[in-house]
Copies of this chain bind each other. A is one copy, B any other.
Amino acid sequence: MTQNYRDFYDEYVPLISKQMATDLATLDAPAVLKEAMLYSINAGGKRLRPLMTLAIYHAFGHTIDTSIIRVASALELVHTYSLIHDDLPAMDNDDLRRGLPTSHKRFGEANAILAGDALLTQAFVWLANNQLPATVQVQLVRQLAVAAGATGMVGGQVEDMLGAQKTYDLSELQQVHNRKTGALLSYATQAGALMAQVDVAIVKQLGEFGQVYGLAFQIQDDLLDVTDNTDFERNTYPKLLGLDGAKAALQTNVEHARQIIEQIAATVTFDHELVSGFLSYFERKN
Contacts and interface: CB of A to CB of B under 8 A. Distances in A.
Interface of A: 27-30, 32-34, 37, 85, 88, 90-91, 108-111, 113-114, 116-118, 120-125, 127-129, 133-135, 137-139, 141-142, 144-146, 148-151, 154-155, 157-159, 161-162
Contacts of A28: 151
A150 B121 contact: yes
A127 B148 contact: no
Contacts of A151: 27-29
A128 B138 contact: yes
A158 B111 contact: yes
A121 B145 contact: yes
Q: Count identical subunits in the complex.
A: 2
Contacts of A129: 142
Contact of A37 (B32, B133, B141, B150): B150
Nearest to A125: B145
A158 B120 contact: no
Of A114, A139, A154, A157, most buried by chain B (CB within 10 Å of CB) is: A154
Given A90-B109, A117-B85, A141 B128 contact: yes
A76 to B, nearest CB: 16
Contacts of A161: 110-111
Nearest to A36: B158
A122 B145 contact: yes
Contacts of A90: 108-110, 113
Contacts of A116: 117
Contact of A121 (B27, B120, B128): B120
Contacts of A141: 124, 127-128, 137-138, 141
